[in-house]
Amino acid sequence: MFRIILFLLLVIPIKTLAQNKTCDSVLFCKTNLIKHIKSLSSDAFEGRRTGSQGAEKTQKYIINQFHALGVLPLLKGYKQNFDFIEKREYYKGVNILGYLKGTVFPKDYIVISAHYDHEGIKQGEIFNGADDNASGVSALFSIAEYLKKYPPKHSIIFAAFDAEELGLEGSKYFVKSSTVDSKHIVLNLNMDMISRSEKNELYVVGASDNKVLKEVLQGHKCSSKIKLKLGHDGYDGLDNWIYSSDHASFHKKGMPFLYFGVEDHKDYHEPTDTFENIQPDFYVDAVKTILSVFKKVDDIKL
């Protein structure tokens, strides 16, 4: 009996340490974050073009992850269907929407979003879109994983938008739909291209004209390895990103937003935007940084 107890005392801590080395029990599992971006940017999803079989596979993948993480469906089956015409071509799009109820401000919603569509297949080449935007969708899962352990104060809508690459059609439809009254949406936190930066820079856009958000972000630091920079908001001589992704749909309706993204790189909208070209350490730190900002804004009445 003594030998059995001694064996258990020796083995259990070693096993626990091995698990902790793989998964960060405080925030989210780093291994899962990398696994998801690798899966979503694989050839199996055929570049996730709106209306394609690859898009349908992606929808099922996202729904399965939301279900496994305890994220409730905002609509029946998580799906919000819409259609539109782009360059005389008819498309059927599908937003995937999940929901968690807030513990303190349940009537106020923070929409955490990332578009899942990309360029699809062109001239026989698959545009996998690892950074753009499998990175944002995978981050949605990690944030949901964290909030499963630490419930949010505001109600959260997890929005995986479709048709961003075709003119932000998915987020436009969500904002104009009556799914949630826009007066109850207090913030959009949008992620689009967050997995690589040669300068270790992650930009956040949307705080310059919002006093509360500006105060939250000034001097905010989560990682010593990553530089969180306010900019690209039309005031600093850099490219203006106010209308560059799905947050624009919220901004046009007067809703506050924070958009997280990196500078364009040589693989932007190229078939070389693959998993092999992301920077895993930067990516993990970027998601941690975004999560740390979310925690700060979730703590206050917006």
Identify the structural domains of the chain with CATH numbers, from first to last.
Answer: 28-298 (3.40.630.10)
Residue 10 pLDDT more than 70? no
**CA pair distance 26, 28, nearest whole angstrom:** 7
Give the mean pLDDT of 197-209.
95
Residue 229's pLDDT is 94
CB within 8 Å of 6: residues ≥ 6 apart: none
Q: What is the pTM of this model?
A: 0.91
Alpha-carbon dihedral of residues 52, 54, 55, 58, nearest 10 degrees?
170
The pLDDT of residue 28 is above 60 = yes
Q: What is the pLDDT of residue 239?
A: 95
- For the cut 90, the answer to whether the pLDDT of residue 1 exceeds it is no
Residue with the larger pLDDT of the pair 9 and 89: 89
Average pLDDT over residues 57-65: 98
- The sign of the CA dihedral 254, 185, 192, 288 is positive
Dihedral angle of Cα 36, 42, 44, 49, to the nearest 10 degrees: 90
Q: 179 pLDDT band (50/70/90 cuts)?
A: confident
The more confident residue out of 195 and 2 is: 195
Adjacent-strand bridge partners of 189:
112, 258
Query: Is the dihedral angle over the CA atoms 83, 84, 90, 95 positive or is it negative?
Result: negative
Place of tokens 């987020």: 171
- Please state whether beta strands 154-161 and 105-115 pair in parallel, antiparallel, or not at all (unpaired): parallel
- How far is Cα of residue 130 from the mean position of the Cα atoms in its chain? 13
CB 165 within 8 A of CB 86: no
Q: Is the pLDDT of residue 262 over 60?
A: yes
- pLDDT over 80 (residue 9): no
Mean pLDDT of 123-147: 98
Measured CA distances, 261 to 162, 166, 224 (Å):
18, 19, 18
Sole residue written with tokens 């070389």: 272
Q: Which of 290, 289, 95, 271 is nearest to 176 (CA)?
A: 95
pLDDT at 11 over 80: no
d(CA 106, CA 104): 6
Most confident segment among 5-9, 217-221, 225-229, 242-246:
242-246
* pLDDT(197) > 90: yes
Lowest-pLDDT choice from 33-47, 127-141, 174-188, 266-280: 174-188
Residue found by looking up tokens 């739909």 in the block: 177
Among candidate residues 7, 279, 35, the one with its CA nearest the CA of residue 137: 35
φ, ψ dihedrals at 120, nearest 5°: 80, -140
Spell out the residues 6+ positions from residue 214 whose beta carbon is closer than 8 angstroms to its own: 207, 208, 230
How much is the pLDDT for 51? 98
Distance of alpha carbon 206 from alpha carbon 251, whole angstroms? 9
Q: What pLDDT shows up at residue 27?
A: 87
Least confident of 83-92, 132-141, 215-224: 215-224
